[in-house]
Structure 1
Amino acid sequence: MTSTPKQKVAVIGGGGNVGASTAFALIAKGVPAEVLIVDLSEQAALGQALDISDASFTMPGTCRQASFQEAGQADVIIITAGARQKPNEPRSNLIDRNYTIIKSIMDSLQPIKSTSKILLISNPVDVLTHIAQTTSGLPRAQVIGSGTYLDSGRLRNALSDITGVSPTSIHAYMLGEHGDNQFTGWSSARIGGLPLLDHPKLKGMDLESINQRIAHKAYEIIEAKGSTYYGIGMCAAIIAEALLNNTSQVFPLTHYVEGLGCYMSWPAAIGSSGVEQSFDVKLDAAETKKLEVAVKAIKEVCAKYN
């Protein structure tokens, strides 16, 4: 490279599998940005940065290790760091530990550039996105999470296998909480402009079995190889690219939904200013009940971290 790209994307926790996969996806996709690898383990950050930089010689992006202070001045700051749930550990304990981690990261990034966008990947992503916004000082529109984007991708892949239609031509979302209370918006799903459930290959299909397959895919991967990182790494890179390039693409992301009064996973258009539009998805009665359950669960946890 004869010059360093002007735009910067910082990956916090870049020494780990998810962070490194995200950084590599940014380079491999040809995103014209300087990718900054930041981690408490400086040795891990250096190793990942050196390795990923070897993949950048034919690409417009570059990659290097950086400090937290440098990361605070990035255009997009991706948070992949966080505590993992221990065996038999209550979810409340995990959130408490992650609150401490996220707050420490936000303190280390200060002063954060006023136009930066923060993208949370760490789980539980809906609650941690709320915490990141309150501790970063940035406007709500500039702090988002990966939400159910990966889950929705898994859903589209499964529906593609059933219908024989490309996943990119299937418009269906997993909604609500990224977790136990997520649900499929079947009534709003479309394929070729028609209701998805009108497709002949979905007639009589056990929809709940599809939901269960999506919900358990991560566990299947974790059981086989220990953790998931390539799928979410690519999703994070795609979201970051949309923020940098001001594409106004719609993703099912964790963002603050004014009408529901909380951070949750819901379709939104994003661009250089963060969230540009949040969409009113039409739900049937059963789906509305599931939404209410998800919103209640998220609000109850977030109320402890205001």
Structure 2
Amino acid sequence: MGKKNRKVVIIGSGLVGSSCAYAMINQSICDEIVLVSRSYEHAAGQALDLSHCADFTSTRTRVRAGYYADCADADIVVLTAGANVKAGQKRMDIIAEAASITREIVASVMNSGFDGIFVVAANPVDIVTQITAQVSGLPRHRVIGTGTSIDSARLKTLFADVFRIDPRSVHGYAMGEHGESQFVAWSHVTIGGKPILQIVEEHKLRFPDLDLNDIARKTKDAGWEIFTRKGSTQFGIGSAIAYIVRSILNDDHRIIAVSAILDGEYGQTDVCVGVPAIIGDGGIEELIEFNLSDDEKELFERSCEIIRAGLESVSQPT
């Protein structure tokens, strides 16, 4: 019996797409990666460069440039191509362009006969993920956005610096929009199993300068700080995509904060927003519903309203 080939197609061979491919190759996540781009030559160059990692990794991942037709038998299609945020813009400023690009790409992917799982990273990711679901017609559990996965990782890194611990010992999530209206669910952040709100209350003298509002602000603004300094983000989000892909292909059932379309969860319907979810080989296996505080519920509702308004601004008449 032949071994099943675990195949991932990445749409977009720019900084994010290539960083995602690089992370997957070095972690031996899949057997084959196909890069699809508007410029075949650019994708071919990236694939050739990435193929030279093979001698330095534990297993060989085949990587090549390809076309939309290669999506037909893919397990996962990763969508990184989209509109680029320019200096002075916010993610929501590129909605119209992003919507147009997404509809074109997703239609081309589905025309190939693709019947797998979408992992979406293009911004504004919550809206692009929902458009991907609309155009593809796939069930909601098979269309996953990177959402606040990268923001949650940034939150953990900030706490790791404050408490001088491994960020993996911090458990907590940024939720809502991957953007300006995101928030940290402080009622569910723990360090070593101990609630952060309890730690702050018990150790005021030990951590006199710890300001949770400032931590939340730095979490939200981290991407813009990177963008201001170097003009793009790539490694963190590339690793976040790879982490989601790995949980799908390995059926890891990891809990990750992703963009998911809600259908009654958190009292919301038909909106794609960042929430913790169990990710396995079926895609989103289950959404985790936190018992949010009243303040957090208000922040979550506000974030959902902003995403809805953005989606409505680019909705096509039926």
Q: TM-score, normalised by structure 1?
A: 0.93
Q: Contact 1:221 / 1:227 at 8 angstroms: preserved in 2?
A: yes
Instruction: Please report how far the alpha carbon of residue 218 of structure 1 lies from its aligned counterpart in structure 2 after TM superposition.
Output: 1.6
In the alignment, structure 2 segments of 5+ residues that lack a partner are none
Q: Contact 1:12 / 1:39 at 8 angstroms: preserved in 2?
A: yes
Instruction: Give the equivalent residue in structure 1 for 2:189.
Output: 189
The one-character-per-residue Cα deviations of 1:19-55 (angstroms, maximum 9, x if unpaired) are 1101111101111320111101111100000000110
Q: Contact 2:71 / 2:114 at 8 angstroms: preserved in 1?
A: no
1:108 maps to a residue whose letter is: S
Q: Does the C-alpha gap of structure 1 residues 48 and 205 become closer, same or farther in structure 2, counting only changes over 3 Å?
A: same
Establish whether residue 284 from structure 1 lines up as the match of residue 293 from structure 2.
yes
Tell me how far apart the structure 2 counterparts of residues 185 and 249 of structure 1 sit (CA, whole Å).
19
1:146 maps to a residue whose letter is: T
2:216 maps to a residue whose letter is: N
1:1-306 matched pairs, under 5 angstroms: 6-14=5-13, 16-57=14-55, 58=57, 59-87=59-87, 94-111=94-111, 113=113, 115-199=115-199, 200=203, 205-259=210-264, 260-261=268-269, 262-303=271-312, 304-305=314-315
Q: Does the C-alpha gap of structure 1 residues 83 and 72 become closer, same or farther in structure 2, counting only changes over 3 Å?
A: farther
Instruction: Please report how far the alpha carbon of residue 138 of structure 1 lies from its aligned counterpart in structure 2 after TM superposition.
Output: 1.0
Instruction: Please report how far the alpha carbon of residue 204 of structure 1 lies from its aligned counterpart in structure 2 after TM superposition.
Output: 6.6
Q: Does the C-alpha gap of structure 1 residues 130 and 186 become closer, same or farther in structure 2, counting only changes over 3 Å?
A: same
Q: How many residues align?
A: 303
Tell me how far apart the structure 2 counterparts of residues 176 and 12 of structure 1 sit (CA, whole Å).
25
Q: Does the C-alpha gap of structure 1 residues 288 and 166 become closer, same or farther in structure 2, counting only changes over 3 Å?
A: same
Tell me how far apart the structure 2 counterparts of residues 202 and 112 of structure 1 sit (CA, whole Å).
56
Tell me how far apart the structure 1 counterparts of residues 169 and 263 of structure 2 sit (CA, whole Å).
29
Q: TM-score, normalised by structure 2?
A: 0.90
Report the identity percentage: 33
Tell me how far apart the structure 1 counterparts of residues 304 and 226 of structure 2 sit (CA, whole Å).
28
Between 213-222 and 198-207, report the one with greater CA deviation: 198-207
Instruction: Please report how far the alpha carbon of residue 66 of structure 1 lies from its aligned counterpart in structure 2 after TM superposition.
Output: 1.1
Q: Contact 2:72 / 2:114 at 8 angstroms: preserved in 1?
A: no
Instruction: Please report how far the alpha carbon of residue 92 of structure 1 lies from its aligned counterpart in structure 2 after TM superposition.
Output: 6.1
Instruction: Please report how far the alpha carbon of residue 110 of structure 1 lies from its aligned counterpart in structure 2 after TM superposition.
Output: 2.6
1:305 maps to a residue whose letter is: S
Between 180-189 and 54-63, report the one with greater CA deviation: 54-63
For residue 44 of structure 1, give the secondary structure of its aligned residue in structure 2. Answer: helix
Tell me how far apart the structure 2 counterparts of residues 239 and 20 of structure 1 sit (CA, whole Å).
16
For residue 111 of structure 2, give the secondary structure of its aligned residue in structure 1. Answer: coil
Tell me how far apart the structure 1 counterparts of residues 48 and 114 of structure 2 sit (CA, whole Å).
30
Between 59-68 and 199-208, report the one with greater CA deviation: 199-208
Between 82-91 and 273-282, report the one with greater CA deviation: 82-91
1:8 maps to a residue whose letter is: K
In the alignment, structure 1 segments of 5+ residues that lack a partner are none
Tell me how far apart the structure 1 counterparts of residues 103 and 72 of structure 2 sit (CA, whole Å).
14
2:300 maps to a residue whose letter is: L
Tell me how far apart the structure 1 counterparts of residues 177 and 6 of structure 2 sit (CA, whole Å).
31
1:288 maps to a residue whose letter is: K
Instruction: Please report how far the alpha carbon of residue 99 of structure 1 lies from its aligned counterpart in structure 2 after TM superposition.
Output: 1.1
